[in-house]
Amino acid sequence: GMIGGSYGRLRELPAVAGREGVGIVDALGAGVRDVGVGAHVRFPEEGTWQEYACIDAKDLLVVHGSVPVEQAAVSFINPPTAYCLLTKIIDLPKGSWVVQNAGNSAVGVSVIQIAKACGLKTISQVRREALVEPLKAMGADHVVLEGSGWAKTVKELTGGEPVRLALNSIGGESASDQIKALGEGGTQVTFGGMVGDPVRFPTRFLIFNDVRLIGFWWDKWCKKSGPKGVREVMDAVYSMMNDGSLQVPIETTYSFAEYKEAFARDKSPRLGKVLLTP
């Protein structure tokens, strides 16, 4: 989205690309006390595709030492987004049902695992049959194919129990179908728009079913919550990564010199992340 010019906040050009990554502290300026040489740290929000950078210490986030560097490198956007979607929007008692489209997306696979760890039940929608079993292996309770009569299918899978939360990252008809599958007083959270099509649905769902539609953007949440709120979320993410209940799938790793191959692989069908290393 950022490279394509469609992200919510764009940089002035020329600029170094990359939004997510881990660096190793090589040297410290005078007076820096909160981070040490050799520590793994989160880069600032932008410009991660470089070998060296001079960064203000207050803009760094120290990674828990026990988190593998590959997992840490992909821990700053999608896993905390998933955690916030499940824990910061509405109160979800254990056993609650959550539905999502794009279940194989980077956020989707984190939602599946975090929901499992929190005692929530998930129904994930995907477009390809080949994705069903891998997502179930990650902890998905149910995985259904797109276009399978969403509302009816959800009702059958939940045994008639209401769906409290729907997570939408596609838009268009997929989002509309989610709204129809929500239980009374349910909430749909939109955090992405892969197709960009309008979302159309009968307004009776708002009036008589008291359905709520809201948006979520991790960047904005961070600004509102401040460093303490971000640290709390990241501590929870790292805790799950440490105990094995949350692992971001890694497809493959390329060097900076192999960036063309990395871009090509990133555009092909896959379940895991593509990493770049110096």
Task: Quote the tokens at residue 146.
Answer: 């797109």
**Phi and psi (nearest 5°) for 243?**
-90, 0
**Neighbour-count burial for 62-92, b at 16+ CB within 10 Å, e otherwise:** ebeeebeebbbbbbbbbbbbbbbbbeeebeb
Residue with tokens 């090589």, as numbered in its chain: 26
CA distance 74 to 246: 12
CA distance 112 to 82: 9
22-24 and 40-42 strand pairing: antiparallel
The reply to whether 7 belongs to the active site is yes
Query: Per the residue annotation, which of 7, 52, 238, 254 is the catalytic one?
Result: 7
Active site residues: 7
